Structure 1
Amino acid sequence: MDAKTILGSALNVSRRDVLQGAAGAAATAGLFRAVEPREAKAFAYSPYPTDDELVTVPTSCAHNCGSRHMLVAHKKGDVIVRLSTDDGRYQGPQGGFGYDTEEMPQLRACLRGRSYRSRLYSAERLLYPMIRVGERGEGKFKRASWDAALDYVAGKMLDLKQKHGPHALLDQSYAGASYGVLHKSDQIEGLLGRFLGMFGCRTSSWSVPSYQATTFSSRMTFGTIEDGNEDDTFAHSKLIIMWGWNPAYTFHGGNTFYYMRLAKQRGCRFVLVDPQYSDSASAYDAWWIPIRPATDAAMMAGMAFHIFTNNLQDQDFINRFTQGMDAGTMPQWAQGGESFKDYILGTRDGQPKTPEWASAICGVPASDIVKLADLYARTKPAALKASWAPGRNSNGEQYNRMAAALQAMTGNIGKLGGCAEGVGKAWHAEGVAYPYDEFANVWYASIKSDRWAHLVLNYPNLKREEIGLWPRSDNLDGVIPNVRGIFWQGSNWFNQLPNINKQIEAMKKLDLVVCNDSTITPSGLYADVLFPVATHFERHDVALPWYKGHYYIHRPKVIQPLGESKTDFQIYTELAHRLGFGERYNPRASREYFHHDDAVDEAYLAAWWEKVQHHQGADISWEEFKARGTYKFKLPRPHVAFQDQIEKGIPFQTPSGKIEILSTQLAQVTDWTRTAWGHPIPAIPKWTEPFESLNHAEKRAEHPFHLITPHPRWRTHSIFNNIPWLRETYEQEVTINAADAKGLGIRTGDTVEVYNARGRMVLPAYVTERVMPGVVVVHEGAWLDLDGDGVDRAGNPDVLTLDEPSPAGGFAYNTILVNLRKTDLNHRPGWDQLATSRAHVFRRST
């Protein structure tokens, strides 16, 4: 019997059956008393308060995720029962429910921020000071009083400084979950750096994991890292090349996706250059160009060759605004030297950087390289958005510098709809509320942050260039720091720095590890002291936009701190008092600040708002800002990086006053060992072979796959990894090309071991055509979970990454050769497999 017959039989109910059923029901009804209809009151989460029973408080997210948008807390008493986001009512007098315009769009939070209640009240919440009682990393702690914990840390600090000098304590602060104008974890302006600087014992970390190669490129090329447009300018582009960029997952400013959607509606064409086909490519119907990881600079050189040899460059722009692009723009001191055009045409080295030459390296057909170069050179205005991920490779700075050369040679810099990014910092926020004094960034040594473990394990038998030791002008220059303790603030380095197993070995040699956090993280398990930190819902502050977005969001203290949580400012102030400089560290506060912070924080923030009024023209009072919840600046014109340089002739902030394709600074270095980089870097952008790639036949024979580690949509680095809602939706997995998986006998859902000489991890497979052959993908940020043999059961790719520095200081997170195989090793997921939702069930398995 076929399906149609079965269905017909099941539905073949006669009129007599219906009538008999109706009569029976009527007879039965006569036996019972009629019941008046009543409104259903049941709800899945009971008791559930209605809106009129709740207090609504506008605030924001606080994380290092690409933007900081509005959250609206709905609370009953001192408990947040749900979170919503901007609906148009917080834009000031012109706002109202549903208000949303291109000039003033709603600042809507993403799924990560909307899930924050689960993090606030999570089982991993750190509520009390804790002191380690077991072996380091064993995770055994005892609860301590604040006095005991603070006395212990202050005593150890004094002892280490006396025994080992001003280098002994390493500042490993980062933006993490503590980022506002007052409660700030930051490598340069942050509370920890100021505290250790005043104490007179601080080794700093100078490199930024996300975009250090890009930072280097922007400073060498433009003289500043403020090379970004505000994202509303994307709406004016005719072509957007998303080079290693997935804005569906990683925003690069407020409302990025909104403005790019406007561009699409207005006819903009999109291109994605990336080893994997991303959700952004799907959303914008982009032309996908798969590329071998770490070879981006070679492809860009091939594009430059086509542009030069077909005379498609904007020669007038080159002549007026660049140094070293060609022979005609070489400075007097470099006459006769190699220009960028010389390198591209092979004038000196005999190797023209043709599309065919580039194709052999990057795996992109030469015809596609030509097509993209032609499209980019002929389309005006065009935005080549050179995102950070390809720079997180060995020699990643050359990719960013090559991108800047393409942006300049096509004349797309300083133009509405064009792009000079780069780092991409745009509108400049007034970022610090506490006194920014001479101790703001005092350090006695500064090393590249991913080389701390190498330093600790090899001290004193190493050279300054091995650790990226920053040059100084005093008697401490060149002195290798003897780091004996670490302070972690706003950071979970075991999930953000490479070569985790090497870090664990280094941890065993330290005398003091202090961790400030609101959550017990894998890094925290290796600490000696855990300080419980209030979340941004539990302290008073103002949210800065990340590195784009021209607005501020007020962050009131929505609820009282849970447990015995304190703010970072309270903790460091109290430690400073115990060490003798509390009044200098926090001049507005008495010793009572540790117990009563509200009035002091209010005073700092009100004074900060006066600076915003005077320096940035904010036209409302502090009280009105607090009542409104947000303030968005109306710019006189779209913010375009270097528009004044191009239109008004204002010099760039470089030694030459021009866009330096030939870097004056690099060309004039005489001793590379006395620079922070430690290794020679070409003065013009050049393709440089990475320390491992798919083009290395010998290495590829043992490890035939190149692993890349993009940012996930469901975490901010490692933040939110423990949120059940998000883990039910997205699984930590290794993405494998279908042809590669077939050769290995792997299907979607199989447990796979990914390994190399540095480590091993176990996680499920996802087989697809959305990644190119030879490349596998594991999103960064999963919480480390080692078994007894050192195998990570959670899928943290940083057990496989190498801490070898790229010459300009970039982190090589995406330069990893690995092998993989099916395994019976234990995979310990979490909510992603233990809960009912299984996202991969709805995907096509291969």
Structure 2
Amino acid sequence: MSELGHDRASSVAQISRRGFLGATAAATAALALSGCSPTDSENTLELGETGSLEEGEWVALPCNCGVCCNIGYVVDNMVVRQKTDDTGEDTDENPQNRCCVRGRMSRQRYMGADRLKYPMKRKNWQPGGVDFHGELRGRDEWERISWDEALDLVAGEVKRIMDNHGPKSFFCGVSGDGHGGGAAGGQVTRLLNAMGGCVYVWGTQSYGGIPVVSTFMEGDPWSYGMMETQDVFTACKADTAIIFGLAAGSLANSWYRAMKHAGVRFIVIDPWFSGQTEQVADMWVPVRPGTDGALLLGMAYHMIENNLHDQEFLDAYTVGFDADHMPEDATTNENFKDYVLGAYDETPKTPEWASEICGVSPDKIRELAEIATSASPLIWRSTQAPARTENGQNYTQLFYAVGWMTGNVGFEGAEVAMANPQSVGMGSSMILPGSPGIEIVTNPICEGPAEVSMLDKGGYDPEKFYGLPYGGAWEAIVSGKYTDFVHGEQPIDIRCIWKINSCSPLNQFSGASKGIEAFRKVEFVVTSDLFMTSDCEYSDIVLPAASFWETPWSNAGQVMPLNPRALFFGGKQVIEPLFEAKDDVWMEEELAKRLDIDPKLIRNISWEQASYNVLATTQVMKDDFSGMEPLAAITQEDIDEFGVEGTPQEGRVPIKELLEQGYYAAQRSPDDPYAITPKRADYRNDPVANPRNTPSGKYEIYSQSLTNYMEIYGTTPVVEPLPKYRPADEGYEQTFANWETKEKGEYPFQVISTHSARSVHSSFHNVRQLNEVHANNLMINANDAAALGLEQDETVLVTSKHGKILRRVNITPRIMPGVLMIGEGNWINLNEEGIDEGGSANILAGGHVVGHGHQPWNTCLVKVEKWDGEPLLPDCQRPYRTFDFE
């Protein structure tokens, strides 16, 4: 370890820069890709001088998303080979948990040449809150400092700001594990909480407008409606699956593959013809973003006019469909049927009306309506993507209402659910993960993630402080005020942005341009990370963090209940921390010592003890399904060898064998007693004895309680109790300067941001091989490109009301005309003109506080122009963000 490092050298890998780069090539050489492989001597990775392939061992590798089964071959503290799940047969009933392309590139990420190697300080920043030169954040130079100096500086600023301004002056944007090293009970900001607390965020990022609507219409406050999704064994009994916004991913692939093999017909409604759609869809119906609700109303009109809907189901199990079945608490006499027929606004929601808005032909809308009402069993499913719009709650209301019109609830192969297939599995029944025994440090001033989720379940408490909304956090920091639910506008004075063991708020929150303003305004920003990410670039102190692979805790106790075959990871630490990297909780422990805080508040037990506790307390279903038994068999010799406290026990697998294998698979079969029976079967069989958790006890197409509850959020526009179509702010209708004449306005294109095969949010963005194979270029329809005179891979300037980015174009028929697509997760890289050459989708997306604080990423308008400056290099050829100090 470098002489500038802190003590603890015995537990840190002793490795030079050349040795690190050399040993890493074995991890990249085999998969190096011609166009973007490093060619300069600085970044060429070749087999090191020490270690051989005969001297290593296979070790389970944890990952960000908790889905892949990833195994690495470790030689001389380097992962030099990888493999995935190769146990058992790969069948529809028990598919192998194979790695996706990101998991297979984990070596290139965690052992990349651009890893942060030592603490750094921004050159023109000085402590004290006066000479911090926030305007230079993102532009300044960096200098290397020691761990002692870094920790002293951070502790001094934390104490100064806490003493002078109190805990509400600290902002921690994301309450979740950042790198895996700080997984102390899954909690961040333990130090700040011990000192008095800090400000978190509330709202939803992934679920869009679904949660609150599902709570009040469907009556399932604990699952966002997802628990209505059946498992793969019963899903295979469906006749047809109509899916809005098809989910991607290895586990979704295994579900859909099994359903396809069983003969299920797939209809996918999505603006984008994805690779997943290509694999399974029998019919692709492109629809404009934010207009799915109009499509649904056009389908409903055809159903009603032709008496195709299930009136008996609607009468018995819902309220609000027609005038004869209104809930007792309704404050208007409007019902869904009459709204669809145009009784209230003199606008019948005909397929022709819908087609003008959503872009689907009237005949296709009629065909969809007839398929939805004739196919049985029908899977009527939406992923979260269509609800990540400004009018996402309206869409959710309409999705449920039209789905219930088909009557496909409560029997095998049928469902009306808003979920991905990953949302359910049998891991929670067949494998029960143990507890690490790590104590929680409660935030005394702000509600944490679990309590914030109660907002979506109807549990708002006016006496509690929930923090800042995702979509409005940056504006609140810049303006010094925010809206606090029923309390209205309130002041806020954030002086420090804290990002130790956290994710990437600057890069991943919408309104990133305003986020840069926020980062430049505050007095102090501290960040820990693996690489020089966007948040690091706008910080004052940057601390090199240990990865998932470099701490014992991260690789124990991870359960994957996402597949018919549940997997439990019980592995061990993969490698020792590289260079001067430290785990995040160690950082907070050291800061606690400097601030006279008991370090045991940060970590009350060792990582080794926490890892052992998980293994010792994990339970697995007995072979005869008669109950649970311990997974790990443990002897006193094991306990003594591990140096932990424990008690010997009988178990399914010897603990050393479990650690050697790295994971344990629990097999499923269609006839076992743990197949998920169709949800709501009890409700369908006896709705009186098994009412839904709504005021009427039924599914509420008209939900007065939804409108009443949404009033506490103080957001606009108000969510009405009756499902109606409302054009989205920055939606399709606003691409026109004049809707009647169809004259296009300043921003004529809709842009959506999607999950990309090349990254997990912002993770893996810096892996060159992924950027070559899955280039994150701007996807544009061939007709639109021709009208703009664009050629393939040409650089364009993309401008919204909120910011500008440069992107190379990918001209394709896979995106519908008028719609553009970019993968989310690109790291911000502003040039001197303030244009983002990194291509972050959140520079284009503005910060909005809408609905229940959901993120409306897929409602954003832009214009596209040819770029007359220097052409943009492909992302895979951009220089690494590395630092070498003499």
TM-based fold match above 0.5? yes
Look up the match of 1:668.
708
Deviations 1:278-303 (A, max 9, x none): 21222124312121221111111222
CA contact under 8 A between 1:606 and 1:622: conserved in structure 2? no
Q: Does 1:502 align with 2:514?
A: yes
1:183 aligns with 2:176: no
> What amino acid is aligned across from residue 663 of structure 2 in structure 1?
T
3-state SS of paired residue (1:454): helix
Match of 2:535 in 1: 523
Deviation at 1:810, TM superposition (A): 2.2
Report the equivalent of 2:496.
485
Gaps of 5+ in 1: 1-41, 89-97, 590-596, 836-846
Give, in whole Å, the separation in 1 of the partners of 2:409 and 2:443: 34
* Alignment counterpart, residue 719 of structure 2, candidates 670, 681, 685: 681
For residues 204 and 278 of structure 2, the distance between their equivalents in structure 1, rounded to whole angstroms, comes to 30
- Kindly provide the amino acid, as one letter, of the partner of residue 485 in structure 1: C
Q: Contact between 2:180 and 2:551, CA under 8 Å: does it hold in 1?
A: no
Equivalent residue number for residue 782 of structure 2: 738
Cα distance in 2 for partners of 1:759, 1:355 equals 36
Provide the residue aligned with 2:650 in structure 1: none
User: Which residue of 813, 816, 825 corresponds with 2:869?
Assistant: 825
The aligned counterpart of 1:14 is none
Give per-residue Cα distances to partners, 1:521-558, cap 9 Å, x unaligned: 12211112223222111122336457844443224201
Q: CA 1:330–1:440 in structure 2 vs 1: closer, same or farther (change >3 Å)?
A: farther
* Cα offsets for 1:750-801 (capped at 9, x unmatched): 2211113322222222222222221122222222221100112232222221
For residues 398-448 of structure 1, what are the alpha-carbon distances to aligned partners after superposition, in whole Å with 9 as ceiling and x for unaligned? Answer: 112221223323233344333343255435575964546582786144121
Give yes or no for contact 2:342–2:348 (8 Å, CA) kept in 1: yes
Task: Give the whole-Å Cα distance in 1 for the aligned partners of 2:843 and 2:238.
Answer: 40
CA, structure 1 residues 585+547, in 2 after alignment: closer, same or farther (shift >3 Å)?
farther
1:601 to 588, 593, 610: 610
Query: Structure 1 residues 115 and 618, CA, compared in 2 at 3 Å: closer, same or farther?
Result: farther
Could you tell me how far apart the structure 1 residues matched to 2:621 and 2:871 are?
51
Unaligned runs of 5+ in 2: 1-28, 33-45, 125-135, 447-464, 635-652, 739-743, 880-886
Instruction: Tell me by how many angstroms 1:512 deviates.
Output: 2.1
Q: Which residue of 2 aligns with 1:61?
A: 63
Alignment of 1:455-604 (within 5 A): 455-460=476-481, 464=483, 469-470=484-485, 479-488=490-499, 489-540=501-552, 541=554, 542=556, 544=558, 548-549=562-563, 550-582=566-598, 585-586=601-602, 588-589=604-605, 597-604=606-613
TM-score by length of 1: 0.82
* Correspondence list, 1:192-591, <5 A: 192=188, 194-221=190-217, 222-228=220-226, 229=229, 232=232, 233-245=234-246, 247=247, 250-251=248-249, 255-334=251-330, 337-424=333-420, 425-427=423-425, 433-435=436-438, 437=440, 439=442, 443=446, 444-460=465-481, 464=483, 469-470=484-485, 479-488=490-499, 489-540=501-552, 541=554, 542=556, 544=558, 548-549=562-563, 550-582=566-598, 585-586=601-602, 588-589=604-605
In structure 1, what is the equivalent of residue 728 of structure 2? 690
Contact 1:57 1:74 in 2 (8 A): yes
Q: Which moved more, 1:432-441 or 1:741-750?
A: 432-441
Q: Alignment partner for residue 711 of structure 1, among 755, 768, 772? A: 755
Match of 2:640 in 1: none
Q: What root-mean-square deviation, in Å, do the aligned CA atoms of Structure 1 and Structure 2 show?
A: 3.3
Shift of 1:688: 1.1
Tell me which of 96, 99, 105 is aligned to 1:109: 99
The AA in structure 2 aligned to 1:636 is P
Secondary structure class of the residue paired with 1:487: strand
- Asked whether the equivalents of residues 395 and 688 of structure 1 are also in contact (C-alpha less than 8 Å), the reply is yes
Letter in 2 for 1:457: V
1:227–1:641 contact (8 Å) kept in structure 2? no
> Higher mean Cα deviation, 628-637 or 137-146?
628-637
Indicate if the aligned counterparts of 1:748 and 1:766 stay in contact, CA closer than 8 A.
Answer: yes
2:528 is paired with a residue whose SS is strand
Matched, 1:724 2:757: no
Equivalent-residue separation in structure 1 for 2:626 and 2:515 (angstroms) = 44
Separation of aligned partners in 1, 2:331 and 2:510 = 42
Query: Could you tell me how far apart the structure 2 residues matched to 1:686 and 1:179 are?
Result: 43
Q: 1:606 to 1:268 in 2, by over 3 A?
A: closer
Partners of 2:264 and 2:363 in 1: CA distance: 22
Deviates more, 1:822-831 or 1:53-62: 822-831
In the TM superposition, what is the alpha-carbon distance from 1:174 to its structure 2 partner?
Answer: 5.4
Distance 1:576 1:325 in 2: 59
CA distance in 2, matches of 1:453, 1:560: 37
Matches within 5 A, 1:605-620: 605-606=614-615, 609=618, 617=628, 619-620=630-631
Cα distance, 1:160 vs. partner?
Answer: 2.2
Deviation per residue, 1:435-468 (Å, 9 max, x gap): 46582786144121221111112114xx51xxxx
Structure 2 residue identity aligned to 1:765: V
Deviation by residue 1:537-583 (Cα, 9 ceiling, x = unmatched): 11223364578444432242011111222223333344445445546
Q: How many residues in Structure 1 have an aligned counterpart in Structure 2?
A: 753
Residue 242 of structure 1 aligns to which amino acid in structure 2? I
More deviation in 105-114 or 731-740?
731-740
Q: Give the greater-gyration-radius structure (CA).
A: 1
Partner of 1:508, secondary structure, is: helix
* C-alpha contact (below 8 Å) 1:355/1:370 kept by paired residues: yes
Report SS of the residue matched to 1:119: helix
- Percent identity, please: 29
Task: Determine if contact 1:214/1:423 at 8 Å carries over to the other structure.
Answer: no
Deviation at 1:50, TM superposition (A): 7.9
Q: Is the 8 A contact 2:331 2:704 kept in 1?
A: no
Instruction: Say yes or no: does 1:629 pair with 2:662.
Output: yes
CA distance in structure 1 between the aligned counterparts of 2:346 and 2:526, rounded to whole angstroms: 55
> 1:709 aligns to what SS in structure 2?
strand
The alpha carbon displacement at 1:226 in A equals 4.9
Q: TM-score, normalised by structure 2?
A: 0.78
Q: Indicate the residue corresponding to 2:79 in structure 1.
A: 80
- How far apart, CA to CA, are the structure 1 residues paired with 2:684 and 2:244? 25
Change (3 A) 1:290 1:100: closer
What is the identity, as a one-letter code, of the residue corresponding to 2:442? F
Equivalent position of 1:26 in the other structure: none
Query: CA separation in 2, counterparts of 1:323 and 1:256?
Result: 33
What is the SS of the residue equivalent to 1:334? coil
Q: 1:174 to 1:353 in 2, by over 3 A?
A: farther
Does the Cα contact within 8 Å between 1:501 and 1:799 map onto a contact in 2?
A: yes
Q: What amino acid does structure 2 have at the position aligned with 1:120? A: Y
| SS across alignment from 2:188 | helix
SS at match of 2:745: helix
The answer for the alignment partner of 1:33 in structure 2 is: none
Cα separation, 2, equivalents of 1:503 and 1:734? 23
Distance 1:47 1:157, change over 3 A: closer
The answer for the alignment partner of 1:123 in structure 2 is 113
**Are the counterparts in 1 of residues 270 and 287 from structure 2 also a CA contact under 8 Å?**
yes
Give the counterpart letter for 1:157 in structure 2: V
CA distance in 2, matches of 1:737, 1:791: 24
Distance 1:217 1:198, change over 3 A: farther
Q: What is the aligned partner in structure 1 of residue 699 from structure 2?
A: 659
Q: CA deviation at 1:87?
A: 0.2
Is the CA contact 1:72–1:83 (under 8 Å) kept in the aligned structure 2? yes
